Amino acid sequence: MKRDPSQALWNPAVETLPREALQALQLDRLRRQVRYNWERSPVHRRKFDEVGAHPNDIRSLADFARIPLMTKEEHRQRQEESLREHGSPIALMGCAPAEEIVRISATSGTTGVPTLYTLTAHDVAIVNEMHARKYWRAGIRPGHTMIQALSLSMFTGGLPLSQGIMHLGACVVPVGIAGGTKRVLDMVALTRPHAIVATPSFGQYLIEEAPKHTGRPAHELGLRYFFCAGEGGGGERDVRQVLADGFGAKVYDHTGGGHAFHGISCDHADEVDGAMHFVSEDHCLLELVDPKKRTPIPLEEGAMGEMVFTFLDWRGGPFMRYALGDLLQVWTKPCPCGKPGIRFKILGRTDDMLTVKGVNVYPQAIAGVITRFRPRLTGVFRIRLDRPGPLVQPPLRLRVEHSGLEPAALATLEHQLTQEFRESLRIRPVFEWLLPGDIPREAGKTRLVEVVQP
């Protein structure tokens, strides 16, 4: 299959479908998928049995929402059970015969045993197509060279991503970061790529290191696109700005590895809270649930909840009502770019959630509010708790750095900030004001919550 470079979109029929037509397609694929899952996997069949349901009963998304969720922890247990009893980690959850499985990849697995994604050639083709869709939207075409500067041992950021780039017809240089910063910069100088895929923090590091290794500032390396992956940050305006200025490149945030959930931001990211367009709705059904009560949350403008996904038209190891532990915010109103469909932002992990007077609050959402008040605020803050969450004894205490304002200006700012928190997050925090640099900067992933026992 060769992508025709003259086409504006590879599959415009799917990507521009009106909402109702897309939902009809999803329901049709869902009904076929649940029957397939039920027929072939004892784990999936058990989910139906738990609520006395049969695939024939699934006539709407509401019917489907009765099927119990699968968690990552449960997935891990089924994998171990499968290995113990059948000598294969995928015998219980896998739906295709072994001779059709061509790839097993996994989540990065920061804690515990990695959970597996199992793919047939058909599923690999879906993943390839989703990667190609994302880069095509951003403007990548055959003739472009992309340097892949992610940890290739992250499984999904490695071979699956390379294959997707090749599927589009662009050229990939999968250099990875194991060889160090100098190796990446040497390969940039040698292969003259148009685009780079890297974490935002590695990107910022490359900007600092480029003059030392190449004798030139990063914006003279010729990169026209920076694609953020692998960590949060690409959704924040300031982070995108630093990368855009540093490389003289267009910056996109994107997500999606070896599975069916994929998204990429557009040229209007600054106007839409850095959200990404959900580009794989024809292959992945998204639901939101309350992280604690596990009750459904309607997909409405601004809704927040734990993401639950179900693969549609997947043959290897299809995920069904799978709760990955990620918190998502979604937007349903039209994007200024004109592309249809839902937009989303990954807010963090469910473990980070706090509850203040019955209202669920996520540290990333607080960061979003704080960021809106730059440059009067530095953007650096901490949530101070007396004891570990999620339950917070009100008021919620925030330690926030301002930029050195006079008392009158600070009072005005505090008033506006209080109002913004009340309107957008329905909380009324109290502030402890700090000066720039009072909060130590961390090199690794920043922990926004600090627990200090009184």
Cβ proximity to Zn ion, 125 vs 138, nearer residue:
138
Would you count residue 337 as binding Zn ion (CB under 5 A)? yes
Judged by CB under 5 A, which stretch of 80-88, 184-192, 264-272, 382-390 contacts Zn ion?
A: 264-272
Supply the DSSP symbol for 204.
H
Element (H, E) at 83: helix 72-86
Cβ proximity to Zn ion, 266 vs 398, nearer residue:
266
Q: Distances in Å between the alpha carbon of 391 and those of 55, 74, 196, 310, 361? A: 39, 25, 41, 30, 10
Minimum CB distance to Zn ion, residue 261 (Å)? 18
Would you count residue 264 as binding Zn ion (CB under 5 A)? no
Binding to Zn ion (CB under 5 A) within 290-319 occurs at none
> Which tokens hold the place of 409?
């200006």
Minimum CB distance to Zn ion, residue 271 (Å)? 9
Bridge pairing between strands 359-361 and 354-356: antiparallel
Cβ proximity to Zn ion, 61 vs 337, nearer residue:
337
CB 304 within 8 A of CB 362: yes
Judged by CB under 5 A, which stretch of 87-95, 125-133, 208-216, 258-266 contacts Zn ion?
A: 258-266
Cβ proximity to Zn ion, 277 vs 315, nearer residue:
277
Cβ proximity to Zn ion, 130 vs 264, nearer residue:
264
Would you count residue 266 as binding Zn ion (CB under 5 A)? yes
Judged by CB under 5 A, which stretch of 252-260, 332-340, 402-410, 427-435 contacts Zn ion?
A: 332-340
Q: Write the CB contacts of 240 (distance below 8 Å, at least 6 apart in sequence).
A: 228, 234, 251, 253, 269, 270, 274
Supply the DSSP symbol for 340.
-
Minimum CB distance to Zn ion, residue 244 (Å)? 17
Q: Write the CB contacts of 215 (distance below 8 Å, at least 6 apart in sequence).
A: none
Would you count residue 427 as binding Zn ion (CB under 5 A)? no
Give CA angle at 125 (119, 128), nearest 5°. 105
Cβ proximity to Zn ion, 198 vs 266, nearer residue:
266
Cα dihedral sign, 146-265-353-117? negative
Judged by CB under 5 A, which stretch of 67-75, 151-159, 268-276, 423-431 contacts Zn ion?
A: 268-276
CB count in 10 Å sphere of residue 352: 19
Q: Distances in Å between the alpha carbon of 73 and those of 77, 232, 307, 404? A: 6, 23, 15, 46
Judged by CB under 5 A, which stretch of 28-36, 88-96, 152-160, 265-273 contacts Zn ion?
A: 265-273
Q: Which long-range contacts (CB under 8 A, 24 or more apart) does 368-371 make?
A: 368/273, 369/417, 369/420, 369/421, 369/424, 369/425, 370/400, 371/236, 371/237, 371/238
Would you count residue 335 as binding Zn ion (CB under 5 A)? yes
Q: Write the CB contacts of 134 (distance below 8 Å, at least 6 apart in sequence).
A: 254, 256, 262, 263, 264, 279
Minimum CB distance to Zn ion, residue 277 (Å)? 6
Cβ proximity to Zn ion, 215 vs 338, nearer residue:
338
Cβ proximity to Zn ion, 116 vs 335, nearer residue:
335
Minimum CB distance to Zn ion, residue 226 (Å)? 18
Cβ proximity to Zn ion, 337 vs 410, nearer residue:
337
Q: How many residues bind Zn ion (CB under 5 A)?
A: 4
Minimum CB distance to Zn ion, residue 340 (Å)? 10
Cβ proximity to Zn ion, 80 vs 270, nearer residue:
270
CB 177 within 8 A of CB 150: yes
Would you count residue 276 as binding Zn ion (CB under 5 A)? no
Cβ proximity to Zn ion, 268 vs 372, nearer residue:
268
> Which tokens hold the place of 15?
């990507």
Judged by CB under 5 A, which stretch of 97-105, 160-168, 333-341, 417-425 contacts Zn ion?
A: 333-341
Minimum CB distance to Zn ion, residue 337 (Å)? 3
Minimum CB distance to Zn ion, residue 266 (Å)? 3
- In 106-230, where does DSSP find H-type helix? 121-138, 159-168, 181-191, 200-214
Judged by CB under 5 A, which stretch of 125-133, 255-263, 330-338, 407-415 contacts Zn ion?
A: 330-338
Contact mark string toward Zn ion, 213..252, x via CB under 5 A: ----------------------------------------
For residues 157 and 110, give the distance between their C-alpha atoms in angstroms, rounded to a whole number.
15
For residues 438 and 378, give the distance between their C-alpha atoms in angstroms, rounded to a whole number.
11
CB 305 within 8 A of CB 291: yes
* Residues engaged in binding Zn ion (CB under 5 A): 266, 268, 335, 337
